[in-house]
Structure 1
């Protein structure tokens, strides 16, 4: 091989912490042949000649006159705020970011179960004594009364104004539920359906017993299936009902409150009319008194003990019991009557 067919090349390996190499290679060979035997990490490198990128397939004859080639390693992506991965994340971490349940995407089954097993105010498990409001929400009575006393009811429960808005209910316990630690602790006393939100339940407002809708459909009766107390169709109140049922209950509540308010206003009106009559009577009495003052006032009848004396009694002696003795020269004190002057 002649000198014309060969070319001296200086390979700079600073990025690999290796000493530079001076090679004499045939001009027809590609530059990639210069990298044989070097510990290169895959394709994470590139070549430059006089500061310009150099394709690895370029022939040695195309090198600049300096004949120096510098090998540079590519910067690893990520770890520098460029949006790449740092290598610390795993696929599990990546997937868990999407598997995390957001509050607005809660499991509807869990939410429905909670409404039937927990107090709507405190979130504690339902326990006797339990009550329902006029919209069919369930509460522990103690928690609701305490919130009313301390005025801590949220705005969503502003329709509860007092004890009259609480309807006592009787939940039928599920056998051995407490011993087994089950979350659902109540059931229908007729059908045995669990009180877990999968079935519709009603509360009878007159007696407070809670029954499944199916039980009342199967047994055609106008009396409670537990206590046999008569009830009307209007006494059936859905518990945790649908939006339509809650809207109907709210309308019924407003109508009942309107009737009570109207009755009170009517009663107050009757009371005011009575007070007007009393005021007229007082005014008439005052007018008579004023007229009496203008004219001669009638003499008041004075009490005379002698007028009430028995027929066989001496009137003067009888009168002395109630009145003082005849005026004389006797000097009387607060405790006794003194003798005439000159005799004491």
Structure 2
């Protein structure tokens, strides 16, 4: 029987230990040949929960293998095993606690806007500039509120955002009258309903009467059955009631109404242009031009008849002599000779 040669006492072996999975630089070690390969890992900061294995030239290497079994200047690779149960892809193993998921999804996200704060801002701030709402204030045809100065400036400089493209000019602004709340100089909510006293903070529904511009709560008009404004007593129709910062359904109805009004206005303008220019002066001129054109078509060419001086000669005058005053001499009266060339008027 042939026995493997035992390593000589004091023999050493140079080993390169590669640690890419641990994000560490390789280590160049010189260790006694009689020690096992696992001895190379004693000085490494390996967590107790990690699972690893060793390879040499791409082949698995048992930790108990002696260093002497490695080829000279051997290279050993440390590999970490993926965690079992999820395939190493971060998937669920069905063993996690459900409480952690509930805590994660039920926790309030810091970047999510508070709906109460958003509603309050719509009733207390300008929808364009974000500044506190103050007189003079206006509303567009969809029920949004603005400071008039900020809106006019944006229209002049053409800086309206795309969301407000339905505002084309001053005709699309409805001046509104907000009733101030007593002793509300330092409060965020500074207006209220003049009838019920409800604060203008979005918790109650408000509307504006387009005829007079007064802002009232919906409950005030429900309690008092009238067709006149409760502030200025001006008559209004049901169509004059416009919700302020209404729901999506209310805004859709207002948008449809706005488009219908614009369509009727455009149809009226087109009809006016089709009927011709307005005004008696322009109408008379158009009739005169039409009559003149009709006379020309009928053959009335008296105005365009060529002028002949002989036809207008006085009774005691010779027609030929009278005509010579207005016309040039006859070309037959001039003859060219060797010494001069006659150039009658109108020849050249």
1:161 alignment partner in structure 2: 168
Taking the TM superposition and a 5 Å limit, the aligned residue runs for 1:248-263 are: 248-261=253-266
Partner of residue 145, structure 1: 152
Deviation at 1:245, TM superposition (A): 1.9
Structure 2 unmatched runs, 5+: 18-26, 82-88, 91-103, 313-348
Q: 1:99/1:6 Cα in 2 relative to 1: closer, same or farther (>3 Å)? A: farther
Query: Which residue number corresponds to residue 122 of structure 1?
Result: 129
Q: For 1:20, which of 24, 31, 39 is the aligned residue?
A: 31
What is residue 173 of structure 1 aligned with on the other side?
180
Gaps (5+ residues) in structure 1? Answer: 25-30, 78-82, 85-94, 297-344
Equivalent position SS for 2:186:
helix
CA distance, structure 2, for counterparts of residue 236 and residue 110 of structure 1: 26
Query: In the alignment, what sits opposite 2:248?
Result: 243
Q: Report if aligned partners of 2:174, 2:210 keep a CA contact under 8 Å in 1.
A: yes
Q: In structure 2, how many angstroms separate the alpha carbons of the residues matched to 1:270 and 1:40?
A: 98
What TM-score, normalized by structure 2, do the two folds share? 0.55
Aligned pairs (5 A) from 1:275-290: 275-280=282-287
> Aligned equivalents of 1:277 and 1:196: distance in 2?
61
1:207 aligns with 2:207: no
How many pairs are equivalent? 256
CA separation in 2, counterparts of 1:280 and 1:37?
112
Output aligned runs, 1:323-334, within 5 Å: none
Deviation, structure 1 residue 13: 7.3
Larger radius of gyration: 1
> Cα 1:133–1:17, aligned 2, differ >3 Å: closer, same or farther?
same
TM-score by length of 1: 0.56
Deviation of 1:235 after TM superposition, in Å, equals 1.5
> Once superposed, what is the RMSD of the aligned Cα atoms?
4.8
1:220 to 219, 222, 225: 225
Determine the C-alpha separation between the residues in 1 that align with 2:168 and 2:69. 97
CA distance in structure 1 between the partners assigned to 2:45 and 2:33 by the alignment? 22
